[in-house]
Amino acid sequence: MAQPDAPIPQKPFKVCRLDAQDAAVYRDIRLEGLKNHPEAFGSSWEDESRKPDAWWAERLETSTVFGGWIDDSPLLGVAGFHAHTATKLRHKAVLWGMYVRIEGRGTGLAARLVQRVIEHARPLVEEICLTVVASNIAGKRLYSAAGFEPYGIERRALKIGEEYFDEVLMARPLREPCASAAPISIGD
């Protein structure tokens, strides 16, 4: 006789902000991502692998980077948040440095990290932007599922060796623009 379906156990994810004490594990995962997926990031392994330990600690003190774990795993994923500080840009922030190790892929951890960045951003800015290389199907699906919408393409955004990569620009509004925002008019 068929048994009733057992409830699917929820993965025990842990997502929290990294600090200077996490510098060594953050360096490892960040350099792994840069090395294995050079087209996925504007930064390069060649530049960041030369940085001293103090640089990594300082990055975690001055930037907001969330880390993700499953059960008692090592660090499996990271996602960064950067709010612009210039007066005319500070209504916007950037989601950057998204990376999930192979062992954490397909688990939902990536979506949890994106959601954590959105929660963090909500009281601080009106919109989060990001760029994703046009060939990155998993990345584009991940961001679309979290409410990001494409608004443009930057042709030849990255050049690695002699190869160019286009990037899709995506944004997720967090609240309605205030009344003073003028409607778009082309041709003024």
Residues that bind ligand COA (CB under 6 A): 33, 37, 40, 98-100, 105-106, 110-111, 132, 136-139, 141-142, 145
Question: In the chain, what is the straight-line distance between the N-terminal and C-terminal CA atoms, in Å?
Answer: 72
Distance CA 74, CA 18 (A): 13
Complex with ligand COA: residue 104 or 174, whichever CB lies closer = 104
- Residue position matching structure tokens 């623009």: 177
**Residues constituting the chain:** 188
Do the Cβ atoms of 166 and 157 come closer than 8 Å?
yes
| Smallest separation (angstroms) from ligand COA to the CB of 87 | 28
Complex with ligand COA: residue 125 or 158, whichever CB lies closer = 158
| Smallest separation (angstroms) from ligand COA to the CB of 53 | 24
Cβ-count burial 107-139 (b if 16+ within 10 Å, e if not): bebbebbbbbbbebbeeebbebbbbbbbebeeb
Complex with ligand COA: residue 60 or 98, whichever CB lies closer = 98
| Smallest separation (angstroms) from ligand COA to the CB of 114 | 8
Complex with ligand COA: residue 18 or 110, whichever CB lies closer = 110
| Smallest separation (angstroms) from ligand COA to the CB of 135 | 10
Complex with ligand COA: residue 60 or 132, whichever CB lies closer = 132
Do the Cβ atoms of 78 and 68 come closer than 8 Å?
yes
| Smallest separation (angstroms) from ligand COA to the CB of 58 | 23
